[in-house]
Amino acid sequence: MAVKLTLRQQQVLDIIRSEIQRTGFPPTRAEIAKALGFKSANAAEDHLKALARKGAIELTAGASRGIRLVDDDSPATDSLIAPLLQALQLPIIGHVAAGSPILAAEHIEREIGVESSLFSQTPDYLLRVRGLSMRDIGILEGDLLAVKKTADARNGQVVVARIGDDVTVKRLQINGKLVTLLPENPEFQPITIRPGDDFSLEGIAVGLIRTAPLH
C-alpha cells in the first residue's frame, strides 16, 4: 500500500530517482540540499530519514550515497516465478588484457545470477574494480561494478573507458569538445582526453555489488 508523502518528501524522492537514472548512483545529502535550496545537508538528512520511516527508501549508515529506492508499486507476481523472471546471469570481468575486448572469454572469471531490480538499467557485465580512484562515491577495490555496454554517455555519468591499453572507471566530464575523466578521490589526477588520443567509451555504470565484508 502506498504511503502518503509530503510535497517536500516527494521532491526529495524524485531527485533520488532522477539521479539514479542519470548516473546510476543515488545523490549525496549535499547534492539533495543544493538541488532543493536547503541551507545544509542536515535538512536533506531529515527528509531522508522520514522517507525511510515511511518505507519509500532504505538508508545505509556511514555511506554518503547509501540510499536505495524501495519499489512498492510493481504488480504482484507469483512468488515462485518472480525470481526466475528477475534473475540475470552476468559475467564477472577481471583483468582486461591490453587491446582485447572486455567481454573476451579469457577475461571472464565466472558468471553469477543477480536480481535485475538491483540496477537502474539492465547491465551486460560486472567489472571487478581495481584501485581506489572512485573511493569517495563508494566504489572500492574488489567491488563489482554493473556496466551497460554503450559508446554513448551523458555528462556526469560514471563510465568505463579505454585509454590506450588501459581500462578505467571514472566520471565523465564534457565541456564543449574537451573530454575529461574525473576521479572521485583527491589523491588521483583527472585525465584529459586530447585529439588523437586512443580513447573509447566501453559502457556506463548502472549499479554496484560489494563483495568485501563490512567492518
What tens digit of pLDDT does each residue of 135-184 get? 999 999 999 999 999 999 999 999 999 998 889 999 999 998 899 999 99
Ordered mean pLDDT values, 10 residues apiece, the chain (215 residues): 78 89 81 87 89 88 76 43 56 81 84 79 91 92 92 94 91 92 94 90 91 58
Which grid coordinates belong to 167? 581500462
Q: Per residue in 178-204, is it b (16+ CB within 10 Å) or e — as a string?
A: ebebbbbeeeeeebebeeeeeeebbbb
pLDDT at 213: 58
According to DSSP, the residues that pair with 201 across neighbouring strands are 161
In the annotation, is 64 catalytic? no
Active-site hit among 133, 148, 149, 200: 133
| Residue found by looking up cell 554518503 in the block | 64
In order of their start, the domains of the chain are 7-69 (1.10.10.10), 117-209 (2.10.109.10)
Considering the candidates 49, 149, 170, 200, report the single residue annotated as catalytic: 170
Active site residue 18: no
